[in-house]
């Protein structure tokens, strides 16, 4: 396999987990091939399953190795492309950056992803949204306190870290659920700051090759 071969990102425009990896790739100036996975197509998921047994996006293929779980991919990018760091140097700040990232990726996002909504809405129309909203609100409430304590311009002081990659997808989801975000001024402030950064603009769901699919 040629070392010249571009890495491939299996992604879906509105997947928040794909989104945060797209931001990391952009910030680190990594050129990659975008492959759309239509999450509503059983055939597309079955194809994806051949390289990722969990059949989830994002799946990142680098030199023939298929990697998944957004935070594992981001840590891999951090280790293999350290030139633009997404973690501070201080161990406590590194832990806080990961904590904020994981509060979203493990504590909030899994409870409002597409499969969860589908499963609960099959039980009762709207149950998925009702369930998701409760956990998004709980997560946002904790996040706001953590950001008040730790943020500067960005989530952890004035350094852009992997924590920040989670803010725009979370705010986007919260807006899709129609939540009132006025109780989270620090989240909103950081989100507005991030929205001006080119890598964040390029990674936005509105700017992907598959934007609008199934919309």
Give the residues lining the site for a second copy (CB under 8 A).
53-56, 62-63, 65, 67-69, 71-73, 75-76, 79-80, 91-92, 94-96, 98-99, 101-103, 105-107, 109-111, 116, 119-120, 123, 127, 131, 134, 139, 141-143, 145-146
| Shortest CB 150 distance to a second copy, Å | 11
Q: Which is nearer to a second copy, 94 or 201 (CB)?
A: 94
In the bound state with a second copy, the residue whose beta carbon lies nearer, of 110 and 209, is 110
Least Å distance between CB 63 and a second copy? Answer: 8
Which one, of 79, 88, 74, 96, lies nearest residue 24 by Cα?
74
Smallest distance, Å, CB 200 to a second copy? Answer: 22
Nearest by Cα to 203 from 17, 34, 22: 22
Least Cβ distance, residue 102 to a second copy (angstroms): 4
- Nearest approach in angstroms of CB 43 to a second copy is 18
Nearer to a second copy, 96 or 155 (CB): 96
Give whichever of 18 and 109 is closer to a second copy, judged by the CB atom.
109
Instruction: Find out whether the peptide bond into 58 is cis, omega within 30 degrees of 0.
Output: yes
């Amino acid at each position: 396999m040629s070392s010249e071969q571009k890495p491939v990102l299996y992604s879906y425009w509105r997947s928040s987990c794909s989104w945060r990896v797209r931001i990391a790739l952009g910030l680190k100036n990594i050129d990659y091939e975008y492959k759309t996975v239509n999450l509503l197509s059983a055939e597309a998921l079955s194809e994806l399953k051949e390289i990722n047994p969990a059949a989830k996006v994002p799946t990142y293929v680098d030199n023939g190795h298929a990697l998944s779980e957004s935070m594992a991919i981001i840590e891999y990018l951090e280790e293999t492309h350290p030139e633009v760091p997404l973690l501070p140097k201080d161990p406590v700040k590194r832990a806080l950056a990961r904590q904020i990232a994981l509060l979203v990726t493990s504590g909030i996002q899994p409870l409002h992803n597409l499969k969860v909504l589908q499963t609960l809405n099959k039980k009762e129309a709207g149950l998925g949204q009702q369930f998701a909203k409760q956990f998004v609100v709980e997560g946002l409430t904790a996040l706001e306190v953590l950001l008040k304590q730790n943020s500067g311009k960005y989530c952890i002081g004035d350094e852009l870290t992997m924590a920040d990659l989670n803010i725009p997808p979370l705010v986007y989801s919260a807006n899709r659920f129609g939540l009132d975000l006025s109780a989270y001024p620090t989240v909103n402030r950081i989100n507005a700051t991030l929205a001006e950064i080119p890598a964040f603009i390029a990674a936005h769901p509105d700017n992907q090759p598959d934007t609008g699919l199934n919309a």
